[in-house]
Amino acid sequence: MALIEGCRHSLEISVPVNEVESETNRVAEDVQKRAKLRGFRPGKAPASIIRKEFSSDIRQKVLENLIPKYLQKQFEAENLNPVGTPDIKDVHFQDGEPLRFTAEFEVTPEIELKDYRGVEVPYHDPEVSDEDLSKRLDEIREQKAQYVNVDPRPIENGDFAVVALESIGGVEGEPIRQDEMVLEIGGADTLESFTENLRGLSPGDEKEFDVAYPEEYGSARVAGKTIRFHATVKGIRRKDLPELNDDFAQEVGDYRTVEELREAVRRSLFGQRQYEAQQAAKDKIVDKLVDEHDFPTPEYFVERQIKNRVEQSLHAMAAQGVDPRSFKLDWDKVKETQRDKAVREVKASLLLSRIAEREAIGATRDEVDREVEKIARQQREPVAAVQMRFEKDGTLGRIASHIQTEKTLSFLFEHARKTAE
């Protein structure tokens, strides 16, 4: 019998007496073969003694064997697709009686798909202006810039000061030391305190000054703090930008002329912006589909998604130099604040899977193999070794799932009705 509430199911299962006795005898015989009891050679102790001495072990093994077996039979009989681990309760196991137990579990919800083709979404292909192109070409020139030493003189705006820095107050633990730090005086990425205190100094000059770091500064060690530094100017450099001509184009890549370089950069900018615009449109399509479909979500999936979100946040904090272990998470509060987003993400995933099933969209073996080869190249490992590792740890399945999701999103975008924003 199945009691149903949303994704939550409850099954009351009974195992016939003859099946229980047969399994108990089989387990007892197996224990008898391996049991070591004083006064008996291995395998020769009477069955009655074995059942008495090892009753608890025999009982546990019988339950471990019969419960999953009969639970799976019932899943198949009722065409149920459980998620997570079933909760087994109300176990009744007495000699001469059927084994009875209750299993509570969640199942993947039935989703009645509404029309998912022709979803209206604002979209138009992006444009790349001449100004955009010039800006990107300037960035490439910046990457190829050379820094030339300048004869000693007072530092001016636009100079690149080479400075040795050491903190002498305001920071805990080991002092901050930089033997050769290059700072663009007056530059957008240079804190005003450095510009103001270094401008006018000459190579060989030393100075102590305070630097107030903003709260949102990238390094957690100094963010929001005022650090006192001792600075020694070691030199001055000037930035020389290469001229934008055919020689520069040939140095940058496989281009004969600067016009070929311009066209390649324009295509690259367009491709990048088109990808971003299409991703934004796909997100809107999924949001609309989630809003239009009402179905329950398994709590198991929701909690797993919340954990994934928290882990991503902790990884991001660690990347910024913050020790995640310094935070004591209130899991109940985390679940409360993250739940709505997690539910929507789970619904989106289930919807995309259902649409993929309806449209027979899936990852081909070649597509998975190409992704594995790409990862192997990035990690500089043999493809066969990466393939074997991914088969064992389940990564191949995750890769296939990701490919299926991306193909489904592309399908939805292709069949959407694009409107002007």
pLDDT digits (tens, 9 = 90+) for 253-291: 999 999 999 999 999 999 999 999 999 999 999 999 999
**Rounded distance between C-alpha atoms, residue 315 and residue 309, angstroms:** 10
**Rounded distance between C-alpha atoms, residue 107 and residue 75, angstroms:** 10
What is the maximum alpha-carbon separation in the chain? 101
pLDDT recorded at residue 1: 47
- The CATH architecture annotation of domain 146-240 reads Roll (3.10)
What is the share, in percent, of the chain residues with pLDDT greater than 90? 71
The CA radius of gyration of the chain, in Å to the nearest whole number, is 33
pLDDT recorded at residue 180: 93
Tracing tokens 């909690």 back to the chain, one arrives at 303
pLDDT (mean) for 169-185: 89
Please say whether the beta carbons of 305 and 345 come within 8 A: yes
Q: For the chain, what is the total number of helices (H) and then of strands (E)? A: 12, 11
Give backbone dihedrals phi and psi of 118, rounded to 5 degrees, phi first.
75, 25
Query: Is residue 215's pLDDT more than 50?
Result: yes
Query: Is residue 70's pLDDT more than 70?
Result: yes
Please say whether the beta carbons of 288 and 418 come within 8 A: no
pLDDT (mean) for 145-172: 93
pLDDT recorded at residue 163: 97
**Rounded distance between C-alpha atoms, residue 121 and residue 141, angstroms:** 38
3-state secondary structure of 138: helix
The three-state (H, E, C) secondary structure of 241-274, written as one string: CCCCCHHHHHHHCCCCCHHHHHHHHHHHHHHHHH
Tokens of 227: 């650090």
Please say whether the beta carbons of 6 and 110 come within 8 A: no
pLDDT recorded at residue 269: 96
Give backbone dihedrals phi and psi of 244, rounded to 5 degrees, phi first.
-85, 95
pLDDT (mean) for 326-343: 81
259-419 maps to CATH 3.40.720.10: no
Q: What is the mean pLDDT of the chain?
A: 90
**Rounded distance between C-alpha atoms, residue 93 and residue 84, angstroms:** 25
pLDDT recorded at residue 5: 66
Query: Is residue 322's pLDDT more than 70?
Result: no
Query: Is residue 36's pLDDT more than 90?
Result: no
Of 27-36, 144-153, 167-176, 190-199, which gets the smallest average pLDDT?
Answer: 27-36
pLDDT recorded at residue 221: 83
Please say whether the beta carbons of 343 and 295 come within 8 A: no
pLDDT recorded at residue 238: 93
Estimate to the nearest angstrom the gap between the alpha carbon of 108 and the chain centroid. Answer: 23
Query: Is residue 48's pLDDT more than 80?
Result: no
Tell me the pLDDT band of 311, cut-offs 50, 70 and 90: confident
- Name the fold adopted by 2-107: Alpha-Beta Plaits (3.30.70)
pLDDT recorded at residue 35: 73
Query: Is residue 2's pLDDT more than 60?
Result: no
Residues of the chain by 3-state class (helix, strand, coil), percent to 5: 50, 20, 30
Give the residue among 19, 59, 16, 98 at the shortest CA–CA distance from 50. Answer: 59
Query: Is residue 172's pLDDT more than 50?
Result: yes
**Rounded distance between C-alpha atoms, residue 228 and residue 231, angstroms:** 10
Query: Is residue 331's pLDDT more than 80?
Result: no
Task: Tell me how many degrees the CA angle 249-251-255 measures, rounded to the nearest 5.
Answer: 45
3-state secondary structure of 177: strand
Tell me the pLDDT band of 337, cut-offs 50, 70 and 90: confident
**Per-domain residue ranges for the chain?**
2-107, 146-240, 259-419
Tokens of 160: 């690149």
Task: Tell me how many degrees the CA angle 76-77-83 measures, rounded to the nearest 5.
Answer: 40
Please say whether the beta carbons of 263 and 255 come within 8 A: no
pLDDT tens digits, residue range 109-151?
889 999 999 999 999 999 999 999 999 999 999 999 999 999 9
Query: Is residue 252's pLDDT more than 80?
Result: yes
**Residue 405 CB coordination number (10 Å):** 17
pLDDT recorded at residue 105: 93
pLDDT recorded at residue 4: 58
pLDDT (mean) for 181-210: 95
Q: Which helix (DSSP H) or strand (DSSP E) does residue 90 occupy?
A: strand 82-92
**Rounded distance between C-alpha atoms, residue 292 and residue 283, angstroms:** 14
What is the share, in percent, of the chain residues with pLDDT greater than 70? 95
Amino acid at 321: G
Of 35-44, 89-98, 104-113, 217-226, which gets the smallest average pLDDT?
Answer: 35-44
Amino acid at 200: G
Residues 6+ apart with CB under 8 A from 257: 246, 249
pLDDT recorded at residue 421: 67
pLDDT (mean) for 372-384: 94
**H helices present in 295-394, as ranges:** 299-319, 331-359, 365-379, 383-393
Please say whether the beta carbons of 125 and 421 come within 8 A: no
